[in-house]
Amino acid sequence: MRATIVAAAVVLAVTALPAFAQADPGPPAGPMVLPAPTGALPVGSKTLHLKDPSRADPWVPTERRELMVNLFYPALPGTGARTRYMTSAESEAMLAEGGLTELPADFLAATGTHSTVDARPLPRPHGRPLVVLSPGYTKPRATLTALAEDLAGHGYAVAVVGHTYENYGTSFPDGRFAGCVSCEIDHEPGFWVKLAEGRAADASFVIDELLKRPGFVDPTRIAMGGHSAGGGSTLTAMLADPRIKAGFDIDGRIYTPLRDTTFTRPFLFLGAYPPDLPIPPCTSHPWEEDFPKLSGWKRWLSVTGAKHASFTDVGLFADHLGVDIGATVTGARTQSITRAYVTAFLDTHLRNRHRPILDAPSPRYPEITFCG
């Protein structure tokens, strides 16, 4: 049984992470429930199936690009079915990637959420500010659900993009299932630039589609961010699409370096300072080259004790299963930090609401180091 839990951690964590050390946690826990949103508004959700007839899929060029998108938004109060975290097929694929045989195939699908399927959107004149979220490479869009629900509870429309053929598996409404075709070539030269450019195109297409919904999105208040490859692709997307007014990168390497200092839109870097790193925070990081070239509002924040997997629902699953991923802060605590700083950043730059935690270190978040 202990081997099963360790394997679960491996499939949920980033591929490059070192092996996990842990005490035997015993039998696997029941389904996890995500932390509740901290905002005051009820949250609704919709699952969108979008097809771009103008673009070939970058990984399967004989197909048109298709995306599954999880949309979260402030909703009118009411009752209804809770949002399903992911499909059983997606859960099974993610678990199978780690060679699991003992956990139920739908273990991840049963994760508890805090949003209501197809709830009526809470009306707002001129639409809601939009946040496009992009997950890490090989990770399904569901792993950003805790952050997405929280942002929706604070008044944002949030589109979590599933980048087809770039994760363990994507279920489509007609029963088709798309695996990780890109995983077959992720060692080839130029792969990460191709991935970032494809994700930038995905983000622009999703924005186009959401702007077709009258009154749902405010076209003047759009941001993008994500974790790992999703965060690293955000700057690429912003360079390609001026409608994206602000961006944030959660522990992701940048794939399209800035060439000069003409980039003036606000940008937030939020990264891990692992406990086993033998150098001070804010040093020897891939962001060092690009951070000085950002000539607008910018912050570089480091979370002491966090690991790469800590920032998303992956860290929450590690907590729930009793798995040690090498962090000295829990996934729940890192999720709380991520929610607080991302919301503060978006409030400041999409709503013009000053948030003091972005100005200087806060006693509420002693794990944060201001790197710039």
**pLDDT tens, 334-356?**
999 999 999 999 999 999 999 99
Cα distance between residue 365 and residue 341, in whole Å: 10
| Residue showing tokens 């771009």 | 52
Model pTM? 0.92
pLDDT tens string 267-294: 999 999 888 877 888 876 778 888 999 9
Work out the percent of the chain whose per-residue pLDDT is above 90: 76
- Quick check: 20 pLDDT over 50? no
- Quick check: 172 pLDDT over 70? yes
H helical segments located in the chain: 2-12, 88-96, 145-153, 191-211, 229-232, 234-240, 313-321, 331-350
Nearest residue to 162 (alpha-carbon basis) of 48, 68, 60: 68
Please answer whether residues 225 and 250 qualify as being in contact, where contact means their C-beta atoms are separated by less than 8 angstroms: yes
Local confidence band at 73 (pLDDT 50, 70, 90 cut-offs): very high
Work out the percent of the chain whose per-residue pLDDT is above 70: 91
Q: List phi, psi (to 5°) of 143.
A: -70, 0
Please answer whether residues 116 and 43 qualify as being in contact, where contact means their C-beta atoms are separated by less than 8 angstroms: yes
- Quick check: 110 pLDDT over 80? yes
Cα distance between residue 349 and residue 230, in whole Å: 20
The residue with greater pLDDT, 102 or 61, is 61
What's the structural domain count of the chain? 1
Domain that holds residue 110: 2-370
Q: Are strands 64-74 and 157-162 parallel, antiparallel or unpaired?
A: antiparallel
Cα distance between residue 256 and residue 188, in whole Å: 17
Local confidence band at 58 (pLDDT 50, 70, 90 cut-offs): very high
Tokens of 252: 């992701």
Stated length of the chain = 372
Domain of 109, CATH number, reads: 3.40.50.1820
- Quick check: 102 pLDDT over 80? no
Cα distance between residue 66 and residue 200, in whole Å: 14
Q: What confidence score (pLDDT) does residue 259 get?
A: 87
| Residue showing tokens 């690293």 | 232
